[in-house]
Amino acid sequence: MPATGHDQLENQLIDNRFKLLRRIGSGGMSVVYMAERVGMGKPLAIKFLRSAFANLPGFVRRFEQEAQACSRLNHLNCVSVLDYGVAFGSPYLVMEYIGGTPLSALTNKGAIEATRAIHIVRQILAGLRHAHARGVVHRDLKPGNVMLAEMTGTADYVKIMDFGTAQILTGDGADQGQSGTDIGTPWYMAPEQAAGQPTDPRTDVYAVGVMLFELLTGERPFVADDPMRVLQMQLTSPIPSVRVLRPQAGISPELEAVVVKAMQKQPDDRFESAEEFEETLKVVPEVAPRRIKRPTGPVHPALAPPKPRPSAPLAPLEPVIGDDELSAPPVLLAPPVEGSAKGKRAMLIGVVLALLAVGLGVLALKIAGVF
């Protein structure tokens, strides 16, 4: 191994297959490089156990356990491990390269909208559902171990990272990994994990509940300067209200109830699985489809259809009287029965007969030489 250690391995080759390009991350136990597959140019990430831990069996075993855990996983929301080996005196993992930013970069800026928080958390739960079904419990879920990958056309695409403290369950449910407070991160540790008791998939459910709390409020539920005090708060302190901490956000009671259930002190009181947690998030008011309700009360006058207006009565027609009629002698007619159809017909017949009589009289006078 070069004298400079694992911090400067740029341009080094591993087994003539992988070329290390540049360092992209580091932690207390490991260093991560961006690399490429020689001859293919495919980007990869290679994670080395630091040389200071390479001769310590416990740390080597934990590193190997991460390789075993990730080899079981094949899910879009979980990082994929492609190879494992030893180089420069230390074990290494070859993983898919994921460009993007850790979720911690988002939580450090404060709270986000509830719909976006739910979108992110549901993807985390989808990846956990897959991992738990294959006997892998993460046990160190936190924003720093969740990557928001750069995917064209997809916003906030989640990848769960760092299975270095994963618990691998055998067929009978036995734990192949270690338990206790020497694993995990105090701010996200479930009470049973803080107490050094056995862990299971519901331990991850608790951690996701804490992350959802932080995304909604911009704060961690339990904070103290002393990490041991934080662990004590995980065990005994009541869960703060997300609606009280951020009243202006309009968080629904249903969403708050989801957070509270995920963060229950007793595992039996939490969601039974990541799947149940995810399914419950689908129906909170922030994301559930809203039905259009039709009004059932009286219709507002402005919305009521106009009532038909009665037509105005027609004015009676004035009779047109000719000169001949004015000069003709009056004709007496039998009065009609008022209001009856027979009376009206009789009056009409009388008028016609009167006109005929006038015409005949005029004609007779002309014949006689009067006109």
If 0-12 CB within 10 Å is exposed, 13-18 middle and 19+ buried, where does residue 35 land?
buried
Q: Which residues are catalytic?
A: 140
Tokens of 360: 């005949």
* pLDDT in single tens digits along all 371 residues of the chain: 443 456 678 889 998 999 999 999 887 788 999 999 998 888 999 999 988 888 888 888 888 888 888 888 999 999 988 999 999 989 999 999 998 999 999 999 999 999 999 999 999 999 999 999 999 999 999 999 999 998 767 789 999 998 878 888 755 444 545 544 457 899 999 999 999 999 999 999 999 999 999 999 999 999 999 999 999 999 999 999 999 999 999 999 999 999 999 999 999 999 999 999 999 999 999 998 765 444 444 544 444 455 555 555 544 544 444 444 444 444 444 444 455 555 556 566 665 566 666 565 555 555 555 55
Phi, psi dihedral angles at 48 (to 5 degrees): -110, 140
100-281: same fold as 5-96?
A: no
Q: How far is residue 296 CA from its own chain's centroid?
A: 30
Between the two ends of the chain, the Cα-to-Cα distance in Å is 151
pLDDT of 180 reads: 46
Topology of 100-281 in CATH? Transferase(Phosphotransferase); domain 1 (1.10.510)
The 8-class DSSP code of residue 52 comes to G
pLDDT of 319 reads: 46
Tokens of 250: 């309009």
Q: Does the CA dihedral 266-268-272-278 come out positive or negative? A: negative
pLDDT of 126 reads: 98
37 beta partners: 18
DSSP string, 211-274: HHHHHHHSS-SS--SSHHHHHHHHHHSPPPPHHHH-GGG---HHHHHHHHHHT-SSGGGS-SSH
SS3 51: helix
Enumerate the domain spans of the chain.
5-96, 100-281, 325-368
pLDDT of 301 reads: 47
Integer Cα distance of 168 and 134 in angstroms: 9
pTM, two decimals, is: 0.73
SS3 143: helix
Nearest residue to 88 (alpha-carbon basis) of 31, 161, 27: 31
Q: Which CATH number fits domain 5-96: 3.40.50.40, 1.10.40.30, 3.30.565.10, 3.30.200.20?
A: 3.30.200.20
Integer Cα distance of 221 and 239 in angstroms: 7
Are 39 and 19 a contacting pair, CB within 8 Å? Answer: no
SS3 157: strand
CA dist 363 → 349, 351, 359 (Å): 21, 19, 6
Nearest residue to 97 (alpha-carbon basis) of 142, 137, 147: 147
If 0-12 CB within 10 Å is exposed, 13-18 middle and 19+ buried, where does residue 195 land?
middle
